[in-house]
Chain A
Amino acid sequence: MTKEKEVTCIVCPIGCKILVKTDGTQFKILEGNKCKKGIEYARNEALDPRRMLTTSVLIEDGEWPLVSVKSSQPIPKEKVFTVLKEIKKTIAKAPIKSGQMVISNVADTNIDIIATKTVKKL
C-alpha cells in the first residue's frame, strides 16, 4: 500500500519538512527538500532509519574525565541502545586526539566509534 509520509529532515539545523510517498520498498520525494542531502535522508528515514550517535567515553589519566565520541556512520535506529551499552563498558587512555578511533566495529555493526575531542594526558 502506498502512503504519503512527512519526514522532518535532520541532516542540518534547517529541518526541512519533506513529503514522501512510500510503500516500504519503493520511494518517491513529493516536495520540501532544500538540498540533495534531504533526498538521501528522506529515503533512509522511510526505508531504513538511521541515526548519528554522539556520546562520551570514560578516559583514564586525562585532563578531562570524558572524551566526546561519534559513530563513524549513522547507526540503525533500533541498535542505538545496544551500541550505547558497549560504549559504556569502554575505558580509553589519554592522550586522545580528535579523529582517533576509540572502538572498532562497535556491537558488530561494522561502524567505529571516533573521538571528537583532543584530550591531553594529565
Chain B
Amino acid sequence: MINQDVDVAIIGGGPAGLAVAVSAREHGVESVVVIDRNSWLGGILPQCIHDGFGVEETGKSMTGPEYAEKYIKMAEKQGIQVMKETMVLRFDRRREIIAVNKKGIHRIRAKAIVLAMGCREKTRWNVMIPGTRPSGIYTAGVAQAFINLYNIMPGKNVVILGSGDVGLIIARRLKFEGANVLAVVEILPYASGLPRNVVQCLDDYDIPLFLNHTIISIEGKERLEQITIAQVDKNMVPIPGTEKQIKCDTLLLSLGLIPENELSKGVGIEIDNITGGPVVDQYLETTLDGVFACGNCLQVYDTVDMLSIDAKRAGKNAAKHIPIQKQENTGQKKDRKSSIRIVPGEGVRYVVPQLVNECGTIHLTLRVEKPREASTLHVIAGGMELLKKRLPWVNPANMIRVDVNISAEAMTSTESLEVTIR
C-alpha cells in the first residue's frame, strides 16, 4: 500500500477536475492531486474536435483539444500532481481514497475530495429497443472516438437515434468523412441539442430530422441491415400505420448522458433522482462533510464553459474547507438542521443546489420541463417572493442560471424554497 496525504484530492481529470485543481491552487491549497483512469487529461475534450468551446468563458472560440490544452498547461504551471491510468476503487467517510494503478494500491488521505467523474452515455438497454443484436450499433460518443481519435469509420449508411448535441455533431462529422446520414430520429417534438447544432450540423447538410419519431425495431443477423421507425403520439406510443423502414448498416445512439456516481453511492452520498448527481448545498458540498461535487457528475451541462465556471467555485469552496479540517476530522456532516430544500415547482425539471444552509446570495442552475416563450421565473420562500425574472424564451437544452438573495428572514420562515417557471 502506497500512502499519501493531500489537501485536496480530485477524482477525474476532465475539464471539471482540471478547473477545480487550478482554482484550488489559486486559492492557496498547497497539495492538490488529480486522479484519472485514462492515459490523458482533458476527459472527452480531445475527441470533441469541433469548435465553440470557451466563448462564454473567455470570449474566444476554441476546439475541444485546444480548450483542454489550455487547462492542462495551467495545471502544469501550478505544479498540480497528476495520477493518470489510476482507477479510484472507493473512498470512505473519513475521505480516505483507495486507488489502483501499475505501481500498486494507493491510499490517499484527503482533507477535501472533489468529485469530477463526469458522465457516460445511455445505451440501447436504457431505452429497450426491440429486435436482434447485430454489430453496427454504437453510442454516438464511441463513434466520435473511433473517427476522431483512432481513424476508424463505424459504417457507411448511418441512422442516429436521439438529437442530443453529440448526435448532431457526429452527423456532420460522418458527412465530412463520406458516410450517408440517412436520418436523425427524435422522440420529442423538438431537438434535444443546442439550436446552433441543429442549424450547423443538420440543416447545413440537408440531414433529415424526424421529430415525434422513434425506432421500433432493429433487424440484421451479423451486421445491422435495417431499422423501422414510427411516429409517436402525445404519450410517446408508436402510431400504427406510420412505420417506415430504413436500410442502414450503422445505428448511433445519442440518448443523453448519465452522471457517473458509483463512488458517490458507494459511500452513501445522497443522490438527486432527477439530475442523477449528488445533492449539494450552495457551496457544492455533498451530504458528506468535505466532499464536493462538480462537472457532469453533478449535473449534465450544456457547455464546458459553464461547467468550468462552476467547477472553479467547487475548487474555491474546497480550499476554504481545508482550515476547518485541520481542527476536526470526524467524517460527520455538519449541522443540517438549518438547511432548507430548494424544490423544483411548476415548469421546472430540477434545480442545483438542492440545499441552502446560510443566507446570502446563492447561484442557482436549473432546467425547464419544455420549451416555451415569454415566461417568468419565480423563487418563492414561504409565500415570500425572493426573485421574479422575465425570460424571453426557455428551452430544456439551455440551462438557466440565476443569482438569488436569500434573506435571514426567508431562511428562518420556511423549510423549502420553490422555483417555478410560468
Contacts and interface: CB of A to CB of B under 8 A. Distances in A.
B144 to A, nearest CB: 11
B66 A13 contact: no
Nearest to A67: B65
A24 to B, nearest CB: 20
Interface stretch (B43-51, B109-117, B281-289, B378-386): B43-51
Contacts of B376: none
B69 A98 contact: yes
B62 to A, nearest CB: 8
Given A56-B148, A116-B49, A68 B55 contact: no
Contact of B49 (A8, A10, A14, A56): A56
B228 interface: no
Contacts of A55: 49, 173, 176
A52 B150 contact: no
Interface size grouping (class) on chain A: 20 to 34
Contacts of B404: none
A51 B205 CA distance: 12
A47 B60 CA distance: 24
A51 B52 CA distance: 12
Contacts of A21: none
Interface in B60-85: 61-66, 69
Interface string B232-262: 0000000000000000000000000000000
Interface residues of B, number: 33
B51 A8 contact: no
A86 to B, nearest CB: 13
A117 B69 contact: yes
Interface string A49-93: 001101110100000111011100000010000001000000000
Contact of A77 (B66, B204, B303): B204
A118 B52 CA distance: 19
A68 B51 contact: no
Contacts of B64: 68
Given A8-B196, A15-B196, A54-B63, 6 more contacts: A12-B56, A17-B393, A54-B49, A55-B173, A66-B150, A68-B49
Contacts of A17: 195, 393
Contacts of B149: 64, 66
B407 interface: no
A68 B63 contact: yes
Contacts of B126: none
B398 A116 contact: no
A13 B52 contact: yes
Given A12-B52, A116-B49, A117-B46, A58 B151 contact: yes
B176 A84 contact: yes
A11 interface: yes
Contacts of B198: 8
Contacts of B66: 98, 116-117
Interface of A: 8-15, 17, 51-52, 54-56, 58, 64-66, 68-70, 77, 84, 98, 116-118
A10 to B, nearest CB: 4
B55 A10 contact: no
B267 interface: no
Nearest to A66: B151
A54 B305 CA distance: 19
B51 A54 contact: yes
Contact of B398 (A14, A65, A69): A14
Contacts of A10: 52, 196, 199-200
A62 to B, nearest CB: 11
B263 interface: no
B200 to A, nearest CB: 5
Interface string B198-213: 1110001000000000
A54 B50 contact: yes
Contacts of B61: 11-12, 52
A116 B64 CA distance: 8
Nearest to A10: B196
Given A11-B55, A68-B148, A51 B200 contact: yes
B84 to A, nearest CB: 14
B196 A116 contact: no
Contacts of B65: 68, 98, 116-117
Nearest to B147: A56
A13 B305 CA distance: 10
A67 B44 CA distance: 16
Contacts of A65: 150-151
A109 B398 CA distance: 36
Highest count of chain A CB atoms <10 Å: which of B46, B65, B194, B305: B65
29 contacts: A8-B195, A8-B198, A8-B199, A9-B196, A10-B199, A11-B55, A12-B52, A12-B61, A12-B196, A13-B52, A13-B55, A13-B196, A13-B302, A14-B56, A54-B51, A56-B147, A56-B151, A58-B151, A64-B149, A66-B149, A68-B49, A68-B65, A70-B51, A70-B63, A98-B66, A116-B62, A117-B65, A117-B69, A118-B69
